[in-house]
Structure 1
Amino acid sequence: MRLFIGLSVPDLYRDNARSMIDAVRATTPSKVSWTKPENLHLTLKFLGNVDAASLPAIIEALSGIRFPAFTMRAGGVHAFPDKGKPRVLWLGLKEGAAECADLADLINQALVPAGFEAEEHPFRSHITLGRVKRYEGDDLRAELRSREIPWPPFTAENFTLWNSDTLPEGPVYTPQAKFTLC
């Protein structure tokens, strides 16, 4: 199993991202592997390839996390790396970034006894829009920013443990367990 833990986004975000991506896709010469709108999410921790026998221990560890529901609102298109040739295009958060970082830290701590290493890199809240496969020198950041719309706030009420299956037509995410934020 290839597992990750993340936060879902509402359907309105998926629809708005689809419109923004379609507009940029039509105008940019760079080849980008765009995230399917139905797959949009904010990753809190990537676990990678995990033996299915570990699933109960992971679920038990995550079940012990107590964290309040919080408001999230997207805003601001960015790229990794910050300057130069972009590799990953992403949407940042105007609200909820600190809470996402705190929740990610709790998840890291909860999973250490289950045999997972805590993240070494600082957490950066983001929703991946696409991965640049062939860069043609166009300004992808500016193209996306010019089509960005105001994103409404929403309440993050739970986080999910997903399995990611890589298929020829792209990844398919299957929820393994949901955990309520109280």
Structure 2
Amino acid sequence: MAGVGRLLLDDQAPDSVLREKLSAIEFGAFFLPIAGVGTFFAKGAPKIVWIGVGKAHPHLFQIHKRVQEAALAAGIEPELRPWHPHITIARCRNVAPQSLRKFLKANADLDAGMIRVEAFHLYSSELTPAG
């Protein structure tokens, strides 16, 4: 849910510092709303379809702030794009714009309930030609 830049996940110094700083982040469990759908665009075309997470939830934004501070402490430059917490549900390739608009309109008010947040994890997401 938060990009912290490209990392080499081995025993290199920045990764060790990042893991140490991230493991020190503590918070109490809380619930996040999962609602709404949208898209991220690239070169004027929709590339990602997502479900919204958190709706400006203060606990989520506090965790994001602390993750960014940990990344800075590890020498990783911060992500400068606006942060939009989300769950990616699809990557678009050759999707008819009218079909996507229809889907987005039909699901604009989607309410998928709440999820309980007790922890967070660092993972790597690699985009390949296959998706």
TM-score band by shorter chain is 0.7 to 0.9
Q: Does 1:75 align with 2:35?
A: yes
Letter in structure 1 aligned against 2:63: L
Q: Does 1:45 align with 2:3?
A: yes
- Out of 148, 155, 160, the residue aligned to residue 116 of structure 2 is 155
Q: Structure 2: 5+ residue runs without aligned partners?
A: none
CA RMSD of aligned residues (A): 2.8
1:47 and 1:62 mapped to 2: Cα distance? 14
Letter in structure 1 aligned against 2:3: K
Mapping of residues 79-98 of structure 1, within 5 Å: 79-81=39-41, 85-93=45-53, 95=55, 97-98=57-58
Taking a change above 3 Å as real, the CA distance of residues 96 and 137 of structure 1, as seen in their structure-2 partners, is closer
| Partner SS for 2:18 | helix
Letter in structure 1 aligned against 2:73: P
Mapping of residues 98-113 of structure 1, within 5 Å: 98-113=58-73
Query: Is the Cα–Cα contact under 8 Å of residues 78 and 141 in structure 1 kept in the other structure?
Result: no
The alpha-carbon deviation at position 154 of structure 1 amounts to 1.9
Q: Does 1:125 align with 2:124?
A: no
1:99 and 1:145 mapped to 2: Cα distance? 29
Query: Is the Cα–Cα contact under 8 Å of residues 4 and 78 in structure 2 kept in the other structure?
Result: no
How many residues align structurally? 126
- Out of 3, 15, 20, the residue aligned to residue 60 of structure 1 is 20
2:62 and 2:75 mapped to 1: Cα distance? 20
Q: Structure 1: 5+ residue runs without aligned partners?
A: 1-42, 171-182
1:167 and 1:134 mapped to 2: Cα distance? 16
Letter in structure 1 aligned against 2:28: P
TM-score by length of 2: 0.75
Letter in structure 2 aligned against 1:161: L
| Partner SS for 2:80 | coil
TM-score by length of 1: 0.57
Per-residue deviation, residues 25-65 of structure 1 (Å, max 9, x unmatched)? xxxxxxxxxxxxxxxxxx22343241512343221110122
Taking only the aligned residue pairs, the percentage that are identical comes to 26
1:69 and 1:47 mapped to 2: Cα distance? 26
